[in-house]
Structure 1
Amino acid sequence: MQNLDRARHESIERVSVHYLTPDLFFNEFQRHNKPVILTEAFNDSVPVDVDKLMSLVGNMEVPVRAYGPERFTTPKAEWKSYCDIRKMTVSEYCGLLRDGTAKRDSLYMAMIDMGKTSFRSVVGPGIDLIAEKTGLRRQLPNDVNVWVGPGGHVEPLHYDGQDGTLSQFRGTKRVSLFPPSIQEGLYPFEMSHGGLTPNFSQVYIDQPDFEKFPRLRAALAERQRVDLAEGETLYMPVGWWHEIEALGNDYICSVNRFWKVDPIWRYNQAPQAAYLYAMSHLFRFKHRIKRVFGK
């Protein structure tokens, strides 16, 4: 198979999206729950800077995650919630990026749905090309979500209940990946924990406490790291643990999308993700019923 625009010493392959077919992608990557980096889907769309973002969706009011300057030096078990939320327009947030406030206070414009905005016209062709070449099917009602934040920000170690892709539109992100099979060594939170859900890890992988988390040492030996550059897309199969750091001192812009776990038997490779997926659907169903019947 033709691929790899970079050396093969990296543990995660880089494959041009133009060399793929749905059958090839399924047999080489999807069926084996194997991450891969897809290239050349967004050559005409990068970079996306704040001026372009503001011109497209500047007046859109969005929820911004406010972690605070001390959050990531505090043990995760002490977190009372994942983050606080502030409402502001995209333009207001971009102003905080430019003047350094977003970095100082750890403010992140995260997972903002862009499916019905003009921003979608910029990233959409590449997303649609990936869907065509891989056979991945969109997980409704999700379309595309934008992530914008300061360099140095880290999204803590967690896994998702669906297949996912992360596409880089400005700057570079370093992604640390761990297979679902080593979950116990990453110490997921118990269901009863009030702050973080069981798809989040209690550990800081770059500041490991082996006395408190002794199985972490073996888990770290399974860590795979990749620097995701502008125009590249990382396919993260269901259940793969990932921690994502925005590199550099400037800001980053990324887009993610969730995809159906096809075929459903692939959940056998990540049973904890099947439980998470079922619980999230039950939660949405209960809220839908509450809206309809007012109970």
Structure 2
Amino acid sequence: MTPIRELRDLSPAAFRDEVVERYEPVVIRGAAADWPLAAAGSAPGSAGAYLRRFDRGSTAEAFVGQSGMGGRYFYTADMRGFNFERRKGPLAALLATLEQIHDSDDPPSIYAGALDADATLPGLSDANPMPLVEGLDASPRLWIGNASIVSIHFDASDNVAVVAGGRRRFTLFPPDQVHNLYVGPLDHNMAGQPASMVELNNPDFDRYPRFREALAAARVAELEPGDAIFIPALWWHQVDALSRFNLLMNYWWADSPDMPARMEAMVHAILAVSHLSEPRREAWRAMFDTFAFRRHGHPAEHLPPEHRRVLGEPSPGWRAYLKHYLLRGLQRP
């Protein structure tokens, strides 16, 4: 696989202009080399002691799987459920458990993800700042666990992920490889986003032959404590936490207020278009290409601005008008 491009010593302005706008993944080596969390995060004892300084009795939900699952959080064989259960309890108990099982040869899999860092451990993100995301309205999230595999999935938001403890391998696939990833159910998945059905570390090419094409386009990097990676929205990625104890802090941000509606827009298109005959789907593809994807320029440039209405420029009033317009349509039988 192709190594992910690497940079060092980026300013926030250079990060926005040279990385985010380019819409390609980048590893930023040493982006958090001065974090106290990264210095403490190499072992559960020292990391736990550091995290407990900020704990005010918070609870955390964790995915817990049985010994022998290899850390891969996934569906059960019949796809009706998952091979883990969700357990909620004190964060202090989670840290203590990870310390107790650290040296086990076949421990249960434990993974607490996307914890709101500011709510769970007040002051942690202030003590470990990430200048690259200044001005992006990015909220820090904390990920704690032992060795794990988060299967190939995508996020709707841009993302900076910082390894604070352990070692992680990131394998990324460009958005145009989605048809080669054999994506599972859109509405029944582990954590809100659909995931590939292919086991990246042991792919079944007889069942998923097009995955070879995805692998040819994949990019990969391994990160140590203090390293960061930028993962653009809709870039599919698998994250392998390779150490017996792992910590990560990540930052998601939306590129516009409309970001949450995009998946819903696609599902609405599935409802309205996907069952049509091929010639009719192609006709609607031309409509989408013109009005939504603007393949031929602005579709209303020939109209005065005051008459563009749905095709007008984004603004709070424009968004409110479109939502009202859509709600009227959705209420039809």
* TM-score normalised per structure 1: 0.74
**What pairs up with 1:1-295 in 2 under 5 angstroms?**
10-17=3-10, 20-22=11-13, 24-42=14-32, 43-45=34-36, 46-47=38-39, 48=41, 49-57=47-55, 59-69=57-67, 71=69, 72=72, 78-82=78-82, 83-100=84-101, 104-117=107-120, 119-124=121-126, 126-132=128-134, 137-138=136-137, 143-150=139-146, 152-191=147-186, 199-248=194-243, 250-261=244-255, 274-275=262-263
Q: Find the residue that maps to 1:104 and give its secondary structure.
A: coil
Q: How far, CA to CA, are the matches of 2:189 and 2:150 in structure 1?
A: 19
Q: How far, CA to CA, are the matches of 1:224 and 1:255 in structure 2?
A: 21
Q: How far, CA to CA, are the matches of 2:112 and 2:73 in structure 1?
A: 21
Query: Are the equivalent residues in 2 in contact too, given 1:79–1:196 (CA < 8 A)?
Result: no
Q: How far, CA to CA, are the matches of 1:57 and 1:193 in structure 2?
A: 33
Cα pair distance change 1:100/1:128, threshold 3 Å: closer
Partner of 2:312: none
How much has 1:97 moved relative to structure 2?
0.9
Letter in 2 for 1:129: P
RMSD: 3.2
Q: How far, CA to CA, are the matches of 1:146 and 1:73 in structure 2?
A: 18
Q: Find the residue that maps to 1:116 and give its secondary structure.
A: helix
Identity %: 21
Q: Find the residue that maps to 1:16 and give its secondary structure.
A: coil
How much has 1:10 moved relative to structure 2?
4.0
Cα pair distance change 1:124/1:187, threshold 3 Å: farther
Letter in 2 for 1:16: D
How much has 1:261 moved relative to structure 2?
2.1
Q: How far, CA to CA, are the matches of 1:194 and 1:116 in structure 2?
A: 26
Number of positions where the alignment pairs a residue of Structure 1 with one of Structure 2: 253
Structure 2: runs of 5 or more not aligned: 42-46, 268-333
Query: Are the equivalent residues in 2 in contact too, given 1:187–1:202 (CA < 8 A)?
Result: yes
Partner of 2:272: none
Q: Which has the larger radius of gyration?
A: 2
* TM-score normalised per structure 2: 0.66
How much has 1:59 moved relative to structure 2?
2.7
How much has 1:245 moved relative to structure 2?
1.1
Q: Find the residue that maps to 1:217 and give its secondary structure.
A: helix
